[in-house]
Amino acid sequence: MGHITSRQAYKSLEERINWFTQGAPPSETLYKILQVLYTEKEAKWMALLPVRPFTAKKAAKIWRTTEYKAEKVLEHLCEKALLVDSYHNGVRKFVMPPPMAGFFEFALMRTRGDIDQKYLSELYYQYMNVEEDFVKDLFYATETRLGRVYVQEPVLSSENALHILDYERASYILDEAEYIGLGTCYCRHKMLHAGHPCEINAPLDVCLTLGNVARSLAQNGGFARLIDKAEARDVLERSYAANLVQIGENVQNNPMFICNCCGCCCEALQAARKFSPMQPVATTNYQPKVKQETCIGCGKCEKVCPILAISMEEGENGKKKPVIDMDICLGCGVCANNCPTKAIEMERRPVQVITPVNSTHRFVLQAIEKGTLQNLVFDNHAFANHRAMAAVFGVILSLPPLKQALASKQFKSIYLDKLLSSQVNKKKKQIKE
Ligand code: SF4
């Protein structure tokens, strides 16, 4: 009976986690992971919490306890990085992060003795590297990707460096961030414990969280250390030197993280290799071009490409030359940064990549694409307040007609249909005029 009750607590938690558009498909391994991260009591509490940020008062009501006791529990969950807190007009609010990017990673962003990190890493390896459902769902379930790649800025020509947009530069994102947190790279930490250490021996201390998430992780449980902009630039430079790829949240404004990734440990880059030619993250707006007259055929670019997009092939004159698979190239610039003769130039792609403006924009796009918009808005009450709903409608009104039609179908909202038809009428009127 005890076993059944315990199982039920984790089952409820798994269902709660899958309210997110990016959840975690159930499996025996997932249950074991949840058992490491949450006690049975914590699983029961977490399963009842809403999606959108809530106060201790709200949690007390849900848990039928006092506000004082609820606050203590919430603080404890923040200290385990299972919740993130924030302050709105002096009021402290809490939110449960998704598994990824979220509480899966946070658990390994520092060394800790309260959980068995080796066992957890082995479970993560099984769930993400052996079983494939989680990774496929995370990276390929929606056309709008969770992450995007930043081009390595030192390889841009002076003309490209002039024209690159601010949000395309990792350095700009770091300069603009209110808080920057530095933690241990979850991927390499996991692979080290799971018996597959990083093949290029890349540094571990280069995981950057940004904004409120960085502050919360630093102030609760020390999962990150707050650093200044100069140190953040240093992290970026060390990562360039270690041939790591910069991958951040796929938004223009206030991304929550910038990871510095190696091809052997990072789940996204591993997925790029494994499920090629499907790209797990949005590319940069750049692509490499080899100047054949300058290339000496050394093969360095082939060796460093994190997703194995370059192969050395014999040319007409018997000389080896690099051939780049443009269908899978992420445009990171690691090859150009390593070429000893500067034979690789990064050019602007002919078709520009569209990046969601902010996290709300990304959530709505992904929910529409996955067919879960209605759940997101109504069932989970994630956006069930007027301001948040206005933001969601604003995003939908800015979408192309096909996506608007999909949203309208899922939403079944008379109000949204009216907004959309008045937008169409307005456009028709403008055309007539
Ligand atoms: Fe040619 Fe540069 Fe690649 Fe060497 S690293 S093969 S020189 S493009």
C-alpha–C-alpha distance, residues 189 and 223, integer Å: 13
* Plot region of 283 (φ>0 → left; ψ -120 to 50 → alpha; else → beta): beta
Both structure tokens of 397: 């009104």
What confidence score (pLDDT) does residue 1 get?
38
CB 331 within 8 A of CB 286: yes
The pTM score is: 0.87
Give yes or no for residue 298 CB within 6 A of ligand 1.
yes
Which pLDDT tens digits describe the chain residue by residue (433 residues)?
345 567 899 999 999 999 877 889 999 999 999 999 999 999 999 999 988 889 999 999 999 999 999 999 999 999 999 999 999 889 999 999 999 989 999 999 999 999 999 999 999 999 999 999 999 999 999 999 999 999 999 999 988 888 999 999 999 999 999 999 999 999 999 999 999 999 999 999 999 999 999 999 999 999 999 999 999 999 999 999 999 999 999 999 999 999 999 999 999 999 999 999 999 999 999 999 999 999 999 999 999 999 999 999 998 788 899 999 999 999 999 999 999 999 999 999 999 998 999 988 898 888 888 877 766 665 444 554 555 666 676 777 777 777 777 766 666 565 566 656 666 666 666 666 6
Q: How far is the CA of 329 from the centre of ligand 1 (A)?
A: 16
Residue 169 Cβ contacting ligand 1 at under 6 Å: no
Question: From the CA of 342, how far away is ligand 1's center (Å)?
Answer: 8
User: Helix, strand or coil for residue 368?
Assistant: helix
Please count the CA atoms within 13 angstroms of the CA of 323 that sit on its side-chain side: 7
What is the CA 366 to chain-centroid distance, rounded?
A: 13
> Strands (DSSP E) along 214-276, which ranges?
225-226, 245-249, 257-261
**Angstrom distance (rounded) from CA 143 to CA 72:** 40
Q: Whose CA is closest to atom 1 on ligand 1?
A: 295
Cα 330 to ligand 1 centroid, rounded to whole Å: 18
Is 297 in contact with 320 (CB distance < 8 Å)?
yes
Whether 259 and 266 have beta carbons less than 8 Å apart is answered as yes
Q: For a substitution probing ligand 1, which of 290, 310, 329 has the most ligand atoms within 8 Å of its CB?
A: 290
For the CA of 294, the nearest atom of ligand 1? 7
SS3 254: coil
Q: Is 341 in the pocket of ligand 1 (CB under 6 A)?
A: yes
pLDDT at 194: 97
Cβ atoms of residues 138 and 100 within 8 Å = yes
Domain ranges of the chain: 2-97, 135-283, 359-420
> How many A from CA of 340 to the centre of ligand 1?
7
Residue type, 249: E
Alpha helix positions (H), 356-413: 359-370, 373-374, 386-397, 401-411
Q: 343 in ligand 1 pocket by Cβ < 6 Å?
A: yes
CA distance 364 to 373: 7
232 lines ligand 1 (CB under 6 A): no
Mutate to test the pocket of ligand 1, among 289, 313, 344, 346 (most ligand atoms within 8 A of CB): 344
- Among 144, 96, 210, 214, which Cα is nearest to 363's? 144
Name the nearest CA neighbour of 95 among 59, 68, 70.
Answer: 59
What whole-number distance in Å separates Cα of residue 334 and Cα of residue 196? 23
Domain covering 2-97: architecture: Orthogonal Bundle (1.10)
